[in-house]
Every structure is written in structure tokens, then in C-alpha cells.
Amino acid sequence: MSAPPVRVIDADALRRAVAFRDLIEPTAVALAEFSQGRGESPVTVFAPRGAAGDVHVKSAWLAGHAIFTVKVASWFAARATQGRPAGSGHIAVHSASTGDLIAVLQDEHYLTDIRTAAAGAIATRLLARPDATRLAVLGTGVQGRLQVAAACAVRPIDTVVIWGRSGRPARLDLS
């Protein structure tokens, strides 16, 4: 008997289907389960010889869940010289009972970015004062913008102070 067909889902479809707010509670549950010793998340990093870049292979599983994932995230300077983002990657979703590949999420770093934002929202919710209204952000890149959105999702933020090393103005269109 053969395994079911593998679904391939591209970054545009993922952007339409999932926002960082959708990941806040599932990420909170996963982090709590992981901190209780119910899973593993090994990481391997390597840099192919002769290439200006590196590859991170990260896997994760939690006991009692139907799937596990393996993420391959890479960063190569050659992509940037071609006018593309330097980072890329995909997430392979497997059956936890058979190991069969179920889906490949060609996320172009999107899921990593919004999962990190969800973790930021959780950290803000747990560590910031409940009445906090001011936020300081170090960095003007993707995570700077997403961490502002994350904090605003869990606290009544009315003032944001941003510092960035590049000197370029930050753009925080949170609509």
C-alpha cells in the first residue's frame, strides 16, 4: 500500500491561510508541553564549502501529536545578488505514527517569522506588566515590525520607540 500523495503548499497560500495571531495559542501550548519534557527539537547547522551561506535543519515533535516537522532554513548571499531574499526554506510535515511525508510547506521563511512573532506575544503576555502601554524595539527589519504587532495583540500599546543600526526609518504599517 502506498502513502497518500504529498501536498505542496507555497508561501502565498500560507500567507492567505495563516496569520501570526493564529499561532499564539498553539505556540503557547507547544512551548508549555516542550518545557514539561514532552518532546524534542534537535538542530543541525552547516555551511556548504565554497558557498557564502548556511543551512539550519530543525526538527520537532511532541508526544501525543499526530505530526512532526522538519524545517530546512537557508541563507545564501547568492540569492540576494539575484534580487531574491537571501533566506529561503521549507517545512516537511510527517505522520508521527508512520513517518510518511504529508506536506511540504514552501514558506520562504514566512512561518518562521510569524511563529517567532507569536512567541514574542506569549513572552509579552507572561513577562510584561498587564498595564504596559510603551514598547521599545531593537531593529527595523521583519522581526521588529512583527514584534510590535505581537505586543499590540496582547497589550494596549500606545507608544513605540524603535532603534535600528541601519539608520533607515522604520516602517510599521500594522494594518
Going from N- to C-terminal start, the domains of the chain cover 7-114, 130-175
Of 100, 102, 107, give the one whose Cα is nearest residue 74. Answer: 107
Least confident of 42-51, 63-72, 141-150, 166-175: 166-175
Q: For residue 141, what is the DSSP state?
A: S
Per the CATH hierarchy, to which homologous superfamily does domain 7-114 belong? ornithine cyclodeaminase, domain 1 (3.30.1780.10)
**Span 53-109, pLDDT tens digits:** 999 999 999 999 999 999 999 999 999 899 998 888 999 999 999 999 999 999 988
Average pLDDT on 118-146 reads 93
Residues 6 or more apart from 151 whose CB is under 8 A from it? 120, 121, 124, 128, 135, 157
Do 47 and 22 contact (CB within 8 A), yes or no? no
Q: In 3-state terms, what secondary structure has residue 123?
A: helix
Contacts 24+ apart (CB under 8 A), 24-27: 24/118, 24/121, 24/122, 24/153, 24/154, 26/118, 27/115, 27/118, 27/119, 27/122
Q: Please list the residues that pair with 135 across neighbouring strands.
A: 160
- Kind and range of the H or E element at 94? strand 87-95
Q: For residue 91, what is the DSSP state?
A: E
Categorize the per-residue pLDDT at 169 as very low, low, confident or very high, splitting at 50, 70 and 90.
low
pLDDT at 141 over 90: no
Instruction: Give the pLDDT confidence score for residue 165 in this predicted structure.
Output: 84
- pTM for this entry: 0.85
DSSP for 54-72, please give it: EEEEEEEEETT-SEEEEEE
